[in-house]
Chains A and B, each alone.
Chain A
Amino acid sequence: MAHINSAAELEELRKGILSKIEPDKPCIAICAGIACLGLGNDRVISAFEEEIRKQSLETKVDIRATGCHGFCEKGPIVVIYPEEICYLEVTPEDVPEIISQTVVGKKVIDRLIYTDPNTGAKAVHQFEIPFYKNQSRLLIGNNPKINPKSIEDYLAIGGYSALAKALFAMNPEQVLEEIKKANLRGRGGGGFPAGSKWETTRNAPGEEKYVIVNAHEGEPGAFMDRALFTGNPHLVLEGLIIGAYTIGSHQGFIYTRHDTPQLRENIDIALSEAKEYGLLGENILGSGFNFNVEVHLDVGIFVSGESSALMRSIEGKSPEPRPKYIRTSVSGIWNKPSNLNNVETWANVPQIINNGSKWYSSIGTERSKGTKLISLSGNICNTGVVEVPMGTSLKEIIYNFGGGIPNGKKLKAVHFGGPMGGSIPESLIDSPLDFDVLSKLGTSLGAGDMLVLDEDNCMVETARYFLDFLSGESCGKCVPCREGIRQMLKTLTDITDGKGKEGDIELLEEIAGVVGEAALCSLGRSVPKPLLSMLKYFRDEYEAHIKEKRCPALFCKELKKGEL
C-alpha cells in the first residue's frame, strides 16, 4: 500500500475498499474480546475455519475475529451478517450447524439466540437483546463490525475522516475550540475538561511537546479501556493524532498493560498499518504534519497509572508520583509539556470533530456530556461493558442492562471507582451517571468501573479489601500514604476479626482526614474515600462489628453470625 498523500486520496482509497465489500456476502463475526478468549473462543474460530474449508465455502463466506461485543456474560458471541443474527454461548460443536443452517440455509437456530430468563421472550438480533437495547454504543458499537488487525475495516466505517477534516478543513485553534465547546471531560477518573488541558500544553513554553494515551487501566474491575482499545485501536489512535496536531506535538506515547497480549499486538499492528498508509509518521496525509508514537509498558503497579508516575516510567525511572504544584501539562516527560488523556477520552475526539460540538453536547447532562463506557461487574446477572449517555440512572444500568441481582439476593450498594472511589447505598440508585452528582454523593465515577454488591457483602470487609489492595500498590514514597494505609488497614482488619474497640471509627476518620490532606499524590489523597463513603452510609455495620461483635452480612468468619 502506498502512502496516502491527500484527503482526496484517502476518500479514493475508502471508495475502493467499500466497492470491494459485497453487502450480501455472509460474514461471521466472532467476538475475540478477553472474556470470550477466556471461554475458549479460539476453538470456536478454528472450528469455523475448518467447517468452511470442509464445505468449500472459502470464497463465499468471510470470517472476522473482532473485539469485545460487551455482553461478556454470554460469550463466546457470534454475529452472522448480513442478517445480524446473534448467537450466544457458542461452542465448537455448534459450528457445523451454524454454517449449514444459518449461513447457508438462512434459518435461525432457536437454541442459540437470546432468551429472556424472566419472560421467555427471544431475541434474534443483537439490538433486540435487553442488554443492548437502549444503550448508545457510539464508541464500542463498531467493535463487531471490524477486525482490529485490519485498518481497511476501520476505513470502511469512515475511519480517519475526522483526522482529514482536522488537518485540511480546520486549524489547530478551531479543533481546540470544538473540543472545549463539546465540554469533553476526561474519562480516566478526574473528569477534568480535556479542552483546557490541551490548551495548557499547547500554550506552555517550549517547542517539544508530548501527547500520551493512558491505557494502564489499573483499577480492579475496570475493563472498558481494554475492550475499546483492543477492539478498535485506530479509533484511539485517530483521536491521539488529532490531539497532537492541535497541541503542536510530534511525539506521542501509549502507556499500556504488559499483561494483555492481544491489546499489545493490536496496538502494534495498528501503529505499523497507520504508518504504512501515511496516517502516522512524516508528512501525514501530505499535510506536512509529522507525528510518531512509541509504546511503553506498565510494570504492574497501580500507582503507575497516575499521571506523573506514568511519565517517570516512560523516562525509564521508577513510577513514583511527584507533587502536583507543577502540572504535567506544563512540565511532564523530561520536563517538557505533556498532555495525558485516558483511552476513552481520546476515542471521543474523532466523533466530536466529525459531528461537531453541538451534536456532542446534546448528549448527556448539563455538565457531563457524551456517552460513558461502564464496566459492570460484581453481583450482577450480566457482567460486561455497557455504553450509555451520561445521565442514565444507575437503576437502569443495574436492572435494564445488567439484568438485576442474581440468586434472588437483595441489592445492597453500588461501588464506583475501585479503591479510590466510594459506595452508595441501594436507596440512591435513582441517581444519574454524572461526574458531579456522584462526587456530591461521596463517590466518584472513576474510570467507569461499577461494582454491584448484594446483601452478602460486608462493608467493613470491602473497605479492608481496598486498603489491602492499596497497601501493595502505593509507591511508598510519602509517609502519610505509607503509614496511614498501614494503620487504617490494621484497624479495619481488627474490626473484621472481632477485635474492634470503642473509638476505632473515630480513629479511622482521623487518619483518613490526615492522609486525604497530606499525601503526595491523588492515590494517597483518595485512600480515605471508600472508607468515608461507607461510614456515611453503612456506619451501623461498622458499629455492629465493634459493639456487638456481629457481622450483619454474615461474612466475617471470626464474628458471631447474624442476630444476637
Chain B
Amino acid sequence: MDNDRIEQILNEHQGQAGSLIKVLMEIQEQNHWLPREVLVEVSEKLEVPLSRVLRIATFYKTFSLTPKGRHEIHVCTGTACKVRGAQRVLDEVQELTGIKPGETDSDLKFSLETVNCQGCCSLGPMIEVDGKTHSKISPAEIADALKKYE
C-alpha cells in the first residue's frame, strides 16, 4: 500500500485515541489488510496501547491481518437470501474455490466471506465479487460468474 496514504491517515488523527476504529477502517479499505508494522504505527501515532489495537483488529471480521486475494467474494447469508437458497450457493462457491469463509486461496486469487443482509433482499440469493452484485444466482451459474476473474 501507498505508505504516504497511511501516513496521511495517521497524521490526520494523531493523538486521537478515539479515532482508533475509524483509522483501522480507513487503512483496511485502502489496503485490504492490516500488516503488523502498520498496527504498531497506529498504536504509536494515536497513543493507544498496542494490545488494544490488536484486540480490535483481531476481533472484528471487517479487519484482516493477512493479505486478501485479488478478488473478494461475499456470499450473503442474511435471512432473505437464506430462505432463497444461500446455503447451496455458499457450498458451491466453497467447492469451486476450495476455500472456506474467512480464507484466501494460495494463489491469492480469491478471498471468501459470508455477509449479513446487504440490503438488496429482492436479489437473493446473491453474491458480490469485488463489489459487483450477481443477483438471483443459482449454484449452476456460479462457475460462469467466477470464470471472469483472473
Contacts from A to B (Cβ < 8 Å):
34-35, 37-39, 72-73, 75, 217-223, 226-227, 258-260, 296-297, 299-302, 313-318, 375, 377-379, 383-384, 415, 418, 449, 451, 453, 457, 465, 469
Closest 10 CB pairs of A and B: A220-B78, A377-B80, A38-B133, A383-B122, A72-B122, A223-B119, A377-B121, A316-B18, A300-B62, A221-B79
Shortest CB-to-CB span from A223 to chain B, Å, is: 4
State in angstroms the CA–CA spacing of A377 and B18 once bound together.
37
* B96 CB within 8 Å of chain A: no
Contacts from B to A (Cβ < 8 Å):
16-22, 25, 48, 52, 55-56, 59-63, 77-80, 82-84, 115-124, 126, 133, 135
Which residues of chain B are within 8 angstroms of A418 by Cβ–Cβ distance? 79
What are 15 A-B contacts defined by CB distance under 8 Å? A38-B133, A72-B121, A221-B78, A221-B79, A223-B119, A223-B121, A226-B119, A297-B25, A300-B60, A301-B60, A313-B21, A316-B48, A317-B20, A318-B56, A465-B82
State in angstroms the CA–CA spacing of A106 and B17 once bound together.
60
State in angstroms the CA–CA spacing of A226 and B82 once bound together.
20
Shortest CB-to-CB span from A530 to chain B, Å, is: 11
Shortest CB-to-CB span from B30 to chain A, Å, is: 13
Which residues of chain B are within 8 angstroms of A226 by Cβ–Cβ distance? 119
CB <8 Å contact, B80 and A73 = no
CB <8 Å contact, A299 and B118 = no
Which residues of chain B are within 8 angstroms of A217 by Cβ–Cβ distance? 119
State in angstroms the CA–CA spacing of A222 and B119 once bound together.
7
Kindly list 18 other residue pairs between chains A and B, CB separation below 8 angstroms, not including A223-B119, A378-B79: A39-B123, A72-B122, A72-B123, A218-B116, A220-B79, A220-B116, A221-B121, A222-B117, A226-B119, A227-B119, A297-B25, A300-B61, A301-B61, A302-B116, A377-B124, A378-B84, A379-B84, A465-B79
Given A384-B122, A418-B79, A299:B25 Cβ within 8 A: yes
CB <8 Å contact, B22 and A297 = yes
State in angstroms the CA–CA spacing of A221 and B55 once bound together.
29
Q: Which residue from B19, B55, B121 sits with its C-beta under 8 Å from A383?
A: B121
Which residues of chain A are within 8 angstroms of B83 by Cβ–Cβ distance? 377-379, 451, 453, 457
CB <8 Å contact, B123 and A38 = yes
Which residues of chain A are within 8 angstroms of B60 by Cβ–Cβ distance? 299-301
Shortest CB-to-CB span from A496 to chain B, Å, is: 12
State in angstroms the CA–CA spacing of A432 and B39 once bound together.
52
CB <8 Å contact, B123 and A375 = no
Kindly report which residue of chain A lies nearest to residue B119, judged by CB atoms.
Answer: A223
State in angstroms the CA–CA spacing of A453 and B84 once bound together.
10
CB <8 Å contact, A316 and B17 = yes
CB <8 Å contact, B117 and A223 = yes
Shortest CB-to-CB span from B144 to chain A, Å, is: 17
Kindly report which residue of chain B lies nearest to residue A383, judged by CB atoms.
Answer: B122
State in angstroms the CA–CA spacing of A39 and B17 once bound together.
41
State in angstroms the CA–CA spacing of A218 and B79 once bound together.
12
CB <8 Å contact, A318 and B18 = no
Shortest CB-to-CB span from A199 to chain B, Å, is: 28
Which residues of chain B are within 8 angstroms of A315 by Cβ–Cβ distance? 18
CB <8 Å contact, B118 and A259 = yes
Given A258-B25, A451-B79, A316:B20 Cβ within 8 A: yes
State in angstroms the CA–CA spacing of A313 and B56 once bound together.
10
Shortest CB-to-CB span from A196 to chain B, Å, is: 29
Which residues of chain A are within 8 angstroms of B59 by Cβ–Cβ distance? 301, 318
State in angstroms the CA–CA spacing of A302 and B60 once bound together.
11
State in angstroms the CA–CA spacing of A301 and B20 once bound together.
16
Which of B78, B119, B126 counts the most A-chain CB atoms under 10 A from its CB? B119
Kindly report which residue of chain B lies nearest to residue A304, judged by CB atoms.
Answer: B60
